[in-house]
DNA sequence: CAATTGACTTGAT
DNA sequence: TATCAAGCCAATT
């Protein structure tokens, strides 16, 4: 078994919970995981999917930047794919390639996040470790 | 252990 | 509206 899941693992776990047709911003993901300013780290984690083998698929396309725009750089194909997948899920982009965050932003049920963070601590907060 | 990197954010110009 | 700069973070080297 693994030690406490890395930050990346937590990111993947949370992103896997984003429902179809909804999105989350990098900053919001970080915030939910308890790292208010870790937006970049989240981006790093998702970009790492290219090299990391995750058993369960991660709907990486459901994460966009705070402005509601695709934020992938240096990989036009991937960016295009993300845009296509989101439209496939019913999300509408305006002429400038922006989606309405106030409408598509997902608000995760607290229990979901709580459970995620709990598992992160080894599944059992019992083991007090100061 | 220090430097580097990048699918971020925010606030100022 | 578009650019720019400075913070912030985890993983990599």
In a domain, A90, yes or no: yes
- In chain A, the number of structural domains is 1
Tell me whether residue A126 is in a domain: no
Question: Distance (Å) from CA A40 to C1' C8?
Answer: 8
Q: Is residue A2 part of a domain?
A: no
Structural domain boundaries, residue A76: 7-120
Helix axes A110-120, A7-15, angle to 10 degrees: 150
pLDDT for res A74: 86
Q: Is the pLDDT of residue A1 over 70?
A: no
Asked whether residue A54 is domain-assigned, the answer is: yes
Is A1 inside any structural domain? no
Residue A51 resides in a domain: yes
Largest Cα–Cα separation, chain A: 53
- Establish whether the CB of A41 is closer than 7 Å to any nucleic acid atom in strand B: yes
Q: How confident is the model at residue A52 (pLDDT cuts 50, 70, 90)?
A: confident
What is the rounded average pLDDT of the residues A47-66? 93
**Residue A78: nearest nucleotide (C-alpha to C1'):** B7
Confidence (pTM): 0.90
The answer to whether the beta carbons of residues A97 and A69 sit under 8 Å apart is: yes
The percentage of residues in chain A with a pLDDT greater than 70, rounded to a whole number, is: 91
What's the CATH number where A67 sits? 1.10.10.10
In a domain, A43, yes or no: yes
Which position has the higher pLDDT, A63 or A125?
A63
Cβ(A55)–Cβ(A12) under 8 Å?
no
């Amino acid at each position: 078994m693994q030690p406490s899941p890395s930050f990346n693992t937590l990111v993947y776990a949370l992103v896997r919970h984003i429902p179809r047709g909804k999105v989350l911003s990098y900053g919001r993901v970080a915030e939910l995981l308890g790292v208010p300013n870790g937006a970049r780290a989240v981006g790093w984690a998702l970009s790492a999917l290219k090299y990391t083998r995750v058993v369960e698929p991660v709907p990486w396309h459901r994460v966009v930047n705070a402005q509601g725009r695709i934020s992938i750089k240096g990989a036009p194909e991937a960016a295009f794919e993300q845009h296509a997948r989101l439209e496939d899920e019913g999300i509408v982009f305006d002429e400038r390639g922006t989606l309405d965050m106030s409408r598509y932003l997902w608000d995760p049920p607290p229990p979901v996040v709580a459970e995620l963070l709990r598992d992160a601590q080894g599944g059992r907060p019992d083991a007090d470790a100061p």
